[in-house]
Amino acid sequence: MKVDVLLGLQWGDEGKGKIVDVFTPKYDIIARFQGGPNAGHTLEFNGLKHVLHTIPSGIFHEETINLIGNGVIIDLKILQDELQKLIDKGANPSKNLMISKKSHLITPSHRLLDAAYEQSKGKQKIGSTLKGIGPTYTDKIARLGLRMGDIQMKNFKERYEHLKALHFEILKTYSFDISSHKIDGLNFEEYEQKWMEATKIASEIPVIDSEQFINQSLKSGKLILAEGAQGTLLDVDFGSYPFVTSSNTVSAAVCTGLGVAPNKIGRTYGVFKAYCTRVGSGPFPTELFDNSGQLLRDNGHEYGSTTGRPRRCGWLDIPALRYSIMINGVTDLIITKADVMDDFDSIDVCTHYQINEQKLDYMPYEILDDQLKPVLESHKGWRKDIVDLTEINQLPKELMEYIEYIEKAVDCPISVVSVGPDRVQTIIR
């Protein structure tokens, strides 16, 4: 058996959580492989909306195991709050959730460092979610980090204090005012106390040798879906560096983030919106600053699931999409949120870029260059409500033309069309 992968092809928030939830009945295990609580994955069914940050999006299907893999980083306080919300809704995550011993911990002082680094960048700030992502992955690579499996060890508290002292030394050099800084509304000591209380998760949820579990499950014929977070254009290597997150978000990260070999990767599902959004700073060639941009934001409720910040909106970017498909080896595309453009007379698409008279049909290193301009092509809108449609042949002719145009432009089939946020608003082709 092989591990299928589902990930985002743009700057995150493509609707990955919704699609994972729809796909879950076909799988035995859903596994997150990178990122942390910077993710916000929204699921809607039975009139209720759920936002997940660390927990995989298959959690509402009791028969499916949900694994937080070794490549994921965990803030115990955030995970505790997330677990409590699920329990309040009648779910029993201790039955179908597992955590890798090797996943790294985001400590409260990582959160302070994230804030200090962002503050010091001034106008060049990344627009981080301030969840401690950058500093935690930095410590992982610097071989200083604490892992989930360390919580049960005798010297955990001592190692925690040692790391905290190192962080406080760095914070001094940034003249960072710890006492007046709030972490998700709490001061440092309050947050730290809640975080420490949440170490009890390690005795409530199975903390396992996840690479053994995954490989044994594959051997015994189990079906596994790896759930990506963020998007390809936020990848630390292939995104618009430095305006990226601190993990590899691409399909290759499934191997290191779960411990599966490259020859065990099966289908790769790439999710993209019918337009583009980006939250935080960084280049966005097709960004709109006019009424169409505002209409996309309003119709699409484009406000961050993790931070509530308004998302920047723009037209679909074909060179960027083609690039993401190439990097990930996407076999199937999933288009979401076409319904957001139901009342548009016309829809623009970026076919290529222009940089100082030069035509480019791929995403260049110079994406940060102010001179890079998108070249747009106009498509006729469908001007029809599609949210209640359930069959592919019911879709308006102009939308089918848009879908077929994209397939041809990026040379990859679109196998799912999402027409609304709810589980049932999904058309499988």
Catalytic residues: 13, 41
- Site for ligand IMO contains 240 (CB under 6 A): no
The size of the interface with ligand IMO (CB under 6 A), counted in residues, is 23
The answer to whether residues 101 and 149 touch, using CB atoms and an 8 Å cutoff, is yes
Distance of closest approach, residue 273 Cβ to ligand IMO, in angstroms: 11
The residue type at 356? N
| Helix residue ranges per DSSP H, 311-373 | 318-328
What is the C-alpha separation between 132 and 289, in angstroms, rounded?
A: 31
- Site for ligand IMO contains 40 (CB under 6 A): yes
Distance of closest approach, residue 412 Cβ to Mg ion, in angstroms: 23
- Answer whether the bond into residue 374 is a cis peptide, omega within 30°: no
DSSP 242: T
Selected binder of ligand GDP within 109, 128, 210, 336 (CB under 6 A):
336
**Maximum pairwise Cα distance, the chain:** 65
Choose between 13 and 82: whose C-beta lies nearer to Mg ion.
Answer: 13
SS3 category, 370: coil
What is the C-alpha separation between 417 and 395, in angstroms, rounded?
A: 10
- Site for Mg ion contains 13 (CB under 5 A): yes
Distance of closest approach, residue 124 Cβ to ligand IMO, in angstroms: 12
Pairing of strands 186-187, 224-227: unpaired
Range in contact with ligand IMO (rule: CB under 6 A) among 11-19, 260-268, 343-351, 366-374: 11-19
Q: Which is nearest to 376 in space by CA: 269, 267, 292, 268?
A: 292
Distance of closest approach, residue 167 Cβ to ligand GDP, in angstroms: 29
What is the C-alpha separation between 27 and 58, in angstroms, rounded?
A: 9
Site for ligand IMO in 251-310 (CB under 6 A): 279-280, 305
Q: Which residues pair with 6 in a beta bridge?
A: 227, 269
Choose between 256 and 351: whose C-beta lies nearer to ligand IMO.
Answer: 256
Cβ within 8 Å of residue 253, ≥6 positions away: 33, 34, 71, 228, 247
Distance of closest approach, residue 333 Cβ to Mg ion, in angstroms: 19
Contact flags string 270-309 toward Mg ion, x per CB under 5 A: -----------------------------------x----
129 touches which of Mg ion, ligand GDP, ligand IMO, none (CB within 5 to 8 A by kind)?
A: ligand IMO
The size of the interface with ligand GDP (CB under 6 A), counted in residues, is 22
User: Which DSSP string corresponds to 292-322?
Assistant: HHHHHHHHTT-B-TTT-PBPEEE-EEHHHHH
Contact flags string 106-145 toward ligand IMO, x per CB under 6 A: --------------------xxxx-x-xx-----------
- Site for ligand GDP contains 8 (CB under 6 A): yes
Choose between 15 and 319: whose C-beta lies nearer to ligand IMO.
Answer: 15
CB burial of residue 210 (10 Å; 0-12, 13-18, 19+): buried
251 touches which of ligand GDP, ligand IMO, Mg ion, none (CB within 5 to 8 A by kind)?
A: none
Number of H helices, E strands in the chain: 13, 22
In angstroms, the Cα distances linking 314 to 278, 292, 295, 352 are: 9, 8, 10, 15
CB burial of residue 240 (10 Å; 0-12, 13-18, 19+): buried
- Site for ligand GDP contains 305 (CB under 6 A): yes
Range in contact with Mg ion (rule: CB under 5 A) among 38-46, 142-150, 156-164, 257-265: 38-46
* Contact set with ligand IMO (CB under 6 A): 8, 11-13, 38-41, 126-129, 131, 133-134, 229-231, 234, 245, 279-280, 305
* Contact set with ligand GDP (CB under 6 A): 8, 12-18, 40-42, 44, 301, 305, 336-337, 339-340, 418-421
* Contact set with Mg ion (CB under 5 A): 13, 40, 305
